[in-house]
A and B are shown apart, each in its own frame.
Chain A
Amino acid sequence: MRTDLYQGHDYYLLDELLTEEHKLIRDTARAWVKKEVSPIIEQAAEDGKFPKHLIPGLGEIGGFGPYIPEEYGGAGLDQISYGLIMQELERCDSGLRSTSSVQSSLVMYPIWKYGTEEQRKKFLPKLATGEFIGCFGLTEPDHGSNPGGMITNFKDMGDHYLLNGAKMWISNAPFADLAVVWAKDESGRIHGIIVERGMEGFSTPTMTGKWSLRASDTGELIFDNVKVPKENLLTGRSGLGAPLSCLDSARYGIAWGAIGSALDCYDVALRYAKERKQFDRPIAGFQLQQKKLAEMITEITKAQLLTHRLGQLRNEGRATSAQISMAKRNNVDMAINIAREARQILGGMGIINEYPIMRHMMNLESVITYEGTHDIHLLITGMDITGENAFK
């Protein structure tokens, strides 16, 4: 891969809305990514493996639960800081950001919000440094967009719970030390339960053959009469709202992350267009290419504004799930379109792994599907504005 020349783009001077600390956090993540990840990311994607040696570094730059309070090993940062870190990680690779979002929003967040004090003390500090890696099991082979229909379940056996079922498409599963699993109790109510590696009957086969998010490991979670200690139940909240609130946090991070991918594609395409000459002039001088580039920065700027405001609302605890859905949907769609246009600006060079665009484009196919598909988020907005449920 070429030297990573990435430079941020801030057309509407949104940096002026950030604090000096926000910028330091963002620039730190950017510097770390350039030094540690950019040189190896193409190879990791080609090998189809998450580069595990990055885990301690990801912890150091705040990649794991930066908003978790300091007493549990987090950094106690605000939501905009979290967003900026996700943006910088996904600027490099959506798989890298996925590993970090899952750990932060889908594992640390539920343990922090719904776990017992013992669970927080036991797991959060080690998750914050990356000593433990977690995964989040909601999706099942037959229940994707409709997780409420899940069949994974547990029975109260007196001194423990007995867990049965299977989860699919689980990021980080193959090497996770623990899984936050969503399963139904005997009355059919959904609860979160922490399953630890090594528990008998628990296995995590790797899913292979992905053309997308190749630098992130995805697997299944299989529970075959797993005895889970009772103290591993998340007691703070039950019902589908519990996992959905975790998804709110992760989707919020994805809204920022998608801007990162888009910025990288735009940055590469802009530089290429200025340097590449055809018909004796830089292709950036042709109106058709300018249209692409001008529309890209317009869409990026709109997404940046939307997302910054969403960050403020989240900081104030006022962002609604529907507002988060709108940002996730808009930004991922924006990024995938920019990736496609940017790829064309590079002509043949656009399909080569010397440039990151094709990798971003393929990654974003997962991002537009997971954490609620593009369609599902539209239905959420639709239901929010009309009061009519069009899901079923």
Chain B
Amino acid sequence: MKILVCISKAPDTTSRIAFTDGDTKFDENGVQFIVNPYDEWYALVRGLELKETLGGSVTTVTVGGADNDPVIRKALAIGADNAVRIDADPADSFDVASQIVSYAKDQGFDLVLTGKETINYNSGVTGALIAEMLDMPYVALATKLDVDGGTATITREVPGGTEVVEVATPVVLSAAKGMAEQRIPNMRGIMAARTKPLEVVAGVPSTGQTSIVSYALPPAKGDVKLVDAENVAELVRLLHEEAKVI
């Protein structure tokens, strides 16, 4: 089975968030980047597990500049066979999907996995856009994935429970928490990653459809108000008048 896993970098969760260029760009200065956790822990690891039981290969694809290479090497160290980096500066999710599809369209992948979202932009639509552009079915928020012959059986989270769907491959799906367990690379993997192929291909002209007007930080957390356990009336009043949640 030929598996493609879409990998993107994301700031480490402890990073200090700031903006530049009149609040239209994320300030990468001093920021540590990691592999987007949904891509790494769930999509990539499940892809590797399937390859290990069913045979085949796992390729990763990343859209962006050479500053993505460290996270790509990490994906290779965890076990991907080869990596492709599309050398483009993507404008938005539509652009990312177009770039990935420009590479993936005639590669014959049976399975295209993405994380359910990146933890920095949270758009959560790249997988769906790829599926549409590749004319493949799409299953979102998968928490379990098995493949038998040409059929993928996928469990997905739905409000209040789970749903099990069957779909013929090739298929695109987005992976959510639960799909697999984090895999820490080992020294053999890190050494092997040195020589695994990381192919850099040119991107297609940008197809971005949106542009960032501005970013803003969420308002600072206010002080906690403690209400005496006996004073339920005051709690209700605050929830109603100040928090406006009831």
Question: In the complex the two chains form, is B194's CB within 8 Å of A21's CB?
Answer: yes
B70 within 8 A of A: yes
A366 CB → nearest B CB, Å: 27
Contact call B185/A66, Cβ cutoff below 8 A: no
Within 8 Å of chain A (Cβ to Cβ): is B184?
yes
Q: A70-B191, A75-B191, A76-B191 are in contact. Are A24 and B77 (CB under 8 A)?
A: yes
Instruction: Indicate if B207 sits at the interface (CB-CB under 8 A).
Output: no
Nearest residue (CB) in A for B74 is A24
Chain A residue at minimum C-beta to C-beta distance from B194 = A21
Chain B, 57-77, contact with A by CB distance < 8 Å: what is the 0/1 string? 000000000000110011001
Contact of B245 with A by CB under 8 A: no
Residues of A within 8 A of B69 (CB): 20
Task: Type the 1/0 row for B169-195, where 1 means its CB is closer than 8 Å to any CB of A.
Answer: 000000000000010111110110110
Residues of chain A lying within 8 A (CB to CB) of residue B185: 24, 28
B14: CB under 8 A from chain A?
Answer: yes
* Across-interface contacts of A31 in B (CB, < 8 A): 182, 184
B70–A60 CB distance below 8 A: no
| A61 proximal to B (CB < 8 A) | yes
Q: Which residue of B lies closest to A128 (CB)?
A: B187
Q: Which applies to chain B's interface (DSSP): helix, strand, loop or mixed? A: helix
Residue in chain A with minimal CB distance to B187: A62
Q: Give the chain A neighbours of B194 by CB distance below 8 A.
A: 21
Chain A residues with CB below 8 A from B188, complex form = 60, 75
Evaluate contact between A60 and B187: CB separation under 8 angstroms.
yes
What 0/1 readout, one digit per residue, does chain B (8-37) give for beta carbons within 8 Å of chain A?
Answer: 000000100000000000000000000000
Chain B residue with the shortest CB-CB distance to A66: B187
Q: Are the CB atoms of B77 and A61 closer together than 8 Å?
A: no
User: Are A61 and B182 interface neighbours, CB within 8 A?
Assistant: no
Chain A 16-68 residues near chain B, CB threshold 8 A? 20-21, 23-25, 28, 31-32, 35, 60-62, 66
Whether A20 and B191, one on each chain, are in contact in the complex, defined by CB atoms closer than 8 angstroms, is: no
In the complex with contacts A7-B14, A35-B182, A24-B70 CB distance below 8 A? yes
Encode B114-140 as 1/0 by CB contact (under 8 A) with A. Answer: 000000000000000000000000000
Distance from B101 Cβ to chain A, minimum over Cβ atoms (Å): 29
Q: Inside 8 A of B187's CB, which chain A residues have their CB?
A: 25, 28, 60-62, 66, 75, 77
Count chain A CB atoms within 10 A of each CB in B69, B77, B184 and give the residue with the most: B184
| Chain A: minimal CB distance from B1 (Å) | 27
Q: CB within 8 A of B184: which of A7, A21, A35? A: A35
A76 contacts which chain B residues (CB < 8 A)? 191
CB proximity of B180 to chain A, nearest CB, Å: 14
CB of B70 within 8 A of CB of A25, answer no
- Are B184 and A61 touching (Cβ within 8 A)? yes
In whole Å, how far is A263's beta carbon from the nearest beta carbon of chain B?
14
CA distance A316 to B74 in the complex (A): 27
Contact in complex: A25, B190 (CB < 8 Å): yes
Measured between alpha carbons, how far is A122 from B185 in the docked complex, in Å? 27
Asked if residues B73 and A24 are in contact (CB atoms below 8 Å), the reply is yes
Alpha-carbon distance between A48 and B229 when the two chains are bound, in angstroms: 44
Q: Are A61 and B14 in contact (CB under 8 A)?
A: no
Question: Which residues of B sit under 8 angstroms from A32, Cβ to Cβ?
Answer: 184
- How far apart are the CA atoms of A60 and B70 in the complex, in Å? 20
CB interface residues, A 51-101, toward B, < 8 Å? 60-62, 66, 70, 75-77
User: How far apart are B45's CB and chain A's nearest CB, in angstroms?
Assistant: 13
Interface string of A7-21 (1 = CB under 8 A from B): 100000000000011
Q: In the complex, what residues of A have CB within 8 A of residue B184's CB?
A: 28, 31-32, 35, 61
Cβ < 8 Å to A, chain B residues 149-203? 182, 184-188, 190-191, 193-194
Whole-angstrom CA separation of A70 from B194 in the bound complex: 14
Which single residue of chain B is at the shortest CB-CB distance from A70? B191
Q: Which of B64-111 contact A (CB under 8 A)?
A: 69-70, 73-74, 77
Contact sample, A vs B, 26 pairs, CB 8 Å cutoff: A7-B14, A20-B69, A20-B70, A21-B190, A24-B70, A24-B74, A24-B77, A24-B185, A24-B190, A25-B190, A28-B77, A28-B185, A28-B186, A28-B187, A28-B190, A31-B182, A31-B184, A32-B184, A35-B182, A61-B184, A62-B187, A62-B190, A66-B187, A75-B190, A75-B191, A76-B191
Residues of B within 8 A of A (CB): 14, 69-70, 73-74, 77, 182, 184-188, 190-191, 193-194
Given contacts A7-B14, A60-B188, 13 further A-B contacts (CB under 8 A): A20-B69, A24-B77, A24-B185, A24-B193, A25-B190, A28-B186, A28-B190, A61-B187, A62-B186, A62-B187, A75-B187, A75-B188, A75-B191
Q: Which 7 A-B pairs have the closest CB atoms?
A: A60-B186, A62-B187, A20-B70, A75-B187, A31-B184, A32-B184, A28-B185
